[in-house]
Amino acid sequence: MTFASKITVTRILMVPVFAVLAIYYGKSIEEGHPEEWLRWWALGIFITASASDGLDGWIARRFNQRSKFGATIDPIADKLLLLTGIITLSLVDWGENGWRIPLWFCALVIVRDFVILGGCAILHYTNHSLDIKPHWSGKVCTVTQMFALGWVMLRVVPFDPIYPCIVAAIFTLWSGYVYLRRGMRRLRDSPDTQPDSLI
């Protein structure tokens, strides 16, 4: 296993630590005595895990440590971190008056990702070649989702988290539509044609 892949695996191991800290912080708010150190530790681990995404990619490119394992596990680690953050912060309050990710937004993100996975499975089992490359709408979707998470965790601006979630929801739907359109176009092609970029 390359050093870059070890960083990716470490990011995966940080995910349950973040979730536990976030849940316990939410419980402390529910009990009326917020333990701020839990919030800052959870935030620090989340930021460290997020930053490691760029670090492992840079190391893989700079020191020629690209591998099939790394290419497979890196997007899994990214999605695991993001989904865990969204799901956890939709289940527990991180402030007064329901300061959390709305459940409808959490459901939207999960449904979009299941559509993507389902589409990949359909293409695979119908013997269509699958070439997954990031589309810029997907990158914007990820950025806006991370921004919504940061809005909840940092609590810098006193406006309801629903506003950044609405913005993120728009790009989540848009990127999902882009994926669906590309997947349907790929499905109409014969299995032996050149693969199209899906996301």
Model confidence pLDDT, tens digit, residues 109-167: 999 999 988 888 888 788 776 665 667 888 899 899 999 999 999 998 889 999 999 99
What's the pLDDT score for residue 172? Answer: 95
CA-CA distance, 43 to 45, in Å (whole number)?
6
Would 120 be classed as within a structural domain? yes
What's the pLDDT score for residue 196? Answer: 45
Q: Are 151 and 161 in contact (CB under 8 A)?
A: yes
DSSP structure class, residue 196? P
What's the pLDDT score for residue 197? Answer: 47
Would 86 be classed as within a structural domain? no
Phi, psi of 131 (to 5 degrees): -120, 100
33 lies in the same domain as 125: no
62 lies in the same domain as 113: no
Regions in the chain scoring below 50 on pLDDT? 195-199
Q: Look-up: residue for tokens 């492992």?
A: 56
Would 38 be classed as within a structural domain? yes
142 lies in the same domain as 63: no
Indicate the length of the chain as a whole number. 199
The answer for residues whose C-beta is within 8 angstroms of residue 10's C-beta and 6 or more apart is: 52
Domain that includes residue 137, residue range: 101-199
13 lies in the same domain as 56: yes
Would 28 be classed as within a structural domain? yes
Q: How many domains does the chain have?
A: 2
Task: Please give the C-alpha separations between residue 106 and each of 86, 97, 119, 158, 168, in angstroms, as whole numbers.
Answer: 6, 18, 20, 21, 11
